[in-house]
Structure 1
Amino acid sequence: MQSLIKSLKVLEKVAEKQPISVGELAKMMSMPKTTVQRILWTFHEAGWLRLIEGDMPRWTVSPRVLSVRPIELAGGGLSAAVQDPMAELRNSTQETVYVSVYDGNGAVVVIDRLESPHPVRAVSPIGDIAPIHSTANGMAILAFLPESQLENILTGELSAFNPATITDADKLRAELKQVRERGYAINRGYYRSGIFAIGAPIFDAAHQPVASICISMPDSRYHEEKIAEWGALTVKAAQAIGFQRNARG
């Protein structure tokens, strides 16, 4: 099992840093070069990685990964339901809008995005993985997870990404209590310094958080007096997505 997890982490690192050499991978992951080489060739034989020849051969992810999509990205369902609410939220706020899903392992993954028309804007790529405890989309989901899942995360490692990150479990519990009370999460630069966001959970028919939607902006456009307005718009978009998705069955 540990060998499988190690191999998957190599695959994830290639996806993050591609194109990348064996030596660079081995150094980043503190693994023997021979072990990394063996893992890379295994994924290559399976069709998941490809080798770019040259003076220093480098590895990239194969297009085969496009054939493996989570249900959230499949036609219809959540993917279809987010389009109109995302556009309305972006047009109302003029800020970048993201929809993310929980990966079940302490992180959220961006599955859709609409960019702000402002020349200076916060942009993360689709597929970007971010910690659930320090992002607006993450905290919006985290606050409404079943108690056992919530405690597993709160009692685990809460990594710090800058001095603003909430890493104390009790402080994070208090923050999540406020999220539940007002219906949306506020990220005051907890993950990336200078990037602020407001996110709301998207619920399924059983009132379980299946995703979240947020607006993200540089701190130069973040104003405390607009939080209630932005929060209400974000919650409205999340509710519209949930309603449409559940109506589709």
Structure 2
Amino acid sequence: MKSVTRSLRILEAVAQHQPVTVGELTKLFELPKSTVQRTLVTLAEAGWLRANRTDTTRWEIGARVLVVRPAALQGSSLFAAAREPMIRLRDAANETVHLSVPDALQCMVVVDRVDCDRAVRTFHTIGDTSPLHATAVGRAVLAHLPKRDVEELVARGLERFSDTTPADPDELRAELDRIRADGYSINRNQYRPGVCALAAPVLDGGGTPLAAVGISMPDSRYNEDRVLEWGRLVAGTAAEVTERLRGA
């Protein structure tokens, strides 16, 4: 049990200080470097931790934590505030609706989903992750983050997933300006081929994005003539969730 407790404490420390080095953790816990290194490797093999992409000597939280997080959120005020508005949005649009939260600048994580009854529809597994710059939910959040965060993301490099992914920094900045003006973001085949989406942010009292509500659909049902309607629906839903959270 002692080793389990030590592993959990190290996992918590990585979550708090990430990205963190073995040396920093060794000093924090006053443990032998070999013990800390062995614990980190074990947690990484199980998917709880991962090496930082830009500096592999530093450690950060892994994908398995992101999968567990949605279940923990089901009892949260965010989950409770969003559920009914999401169902109404699904009924109004007759398309899949999902709620995603940001994992810092690493990715967006799907934490809830309401499916439509169409035979052909999009599907997002709870716990799925996606990049901020290439998705509607991600850009809805990114548009309301401080400029320094946007520039940090840009400095890491913007991966291109399709011919229409906003991988050029100026293109992304212009798109974020449009999202702030319109109140919603649009993704047409920019991440997954054949999948389109619109999304709007859920904000806290200070305007910081907590989550994003999205409508997604196959490209075959995407209709430019309905974009304004869909945009108003998803923005209205996100605003309702925001108000419900503030009143919670």
TM-score range normalised by the length of the shorter chain: 0.7 to 0.9
Change over 3 Å in CA distance of 1:65–1:133 after alignment to 2: closer
| Residues 43/196 of structure 1: CA separation in 2 closer, same or farther (3 Å cut) | same
- State how far apart, in whole Å, the 1-side matches of 2:73 and 2:101 are: 10
Matched with 2:176 is 176
Give the aligned residue type for 1:200: A
Q: 2:200 matched to which residue of 1?
A: 200
List structure 1 runs of 4+ shifted beyond 6 angstroms.
Answer: 38-41, 64-67
Distance 1:65 1:153, change over 3 A: closer
User: Partners in 2 of 1:126 and 1:207 — Cα distance?
Assistant: 26
In structure 1, what is the equivalent of residue 97 of structure 2? 97
For 2:239 and 2:80, how far apart are their aligned partners in 1? Answer: 14
Compared CA separation, residues 120 and 174, structure 1 to 2 (3 A): same
The alignment status of 1:150 with 2:142, answered yes or no, reads no
Residues 89-168 of structure 1: pairs in structure 2 closer than 5 A: 89-168=89-168
| RMSD (CA atoms) | 2.9
Do 1:89 and 1:97's aligned partners in 2 also have CA atoms closer than 8 Å?
yes
Question: 1:141, 1:111 → 2: CA distance?
Answer: 15
CA distance in 1 between counterparts of 2:76 and 2:210 reads 15
Structure 1: 5+ residue runs without aligned partners? 5-37, 49-63
The match for 1:246 is 246
Deviations along 1:173-215, one digit per CA (max 9) or x if unpaired, are 1111110100000001100011000000101111111110010
The question of whether the paired residues in 1 share the 8 Å contact of 2:70 and 2:127 is answered with no
| One-letter identity of the residue aligned with 1:148 | R
- Where do residues 77-92 of structure 1 align in structure 2 (5 Å cutoff)? 77-92=77-92
Q: What corresponds to 2:214 in structure 1?
A: 214
Q: Is the 8 A contact 2:96 2:216 kept in 1?
A: yes
Q: TM-score, normalised by structure 1?
A: 0.73
SS at match of 1:155: helix
Whichever residue aligns with residue 232 of structure 1, its letter is: R
Identity %: 43
**CA pair 99-39 structure 1, distance change in 2 beyond 3 A:** same
Q: Tell me the TM-score normalized by structure 2.
A: 0.73
Say how many residue pairs are matched.
201
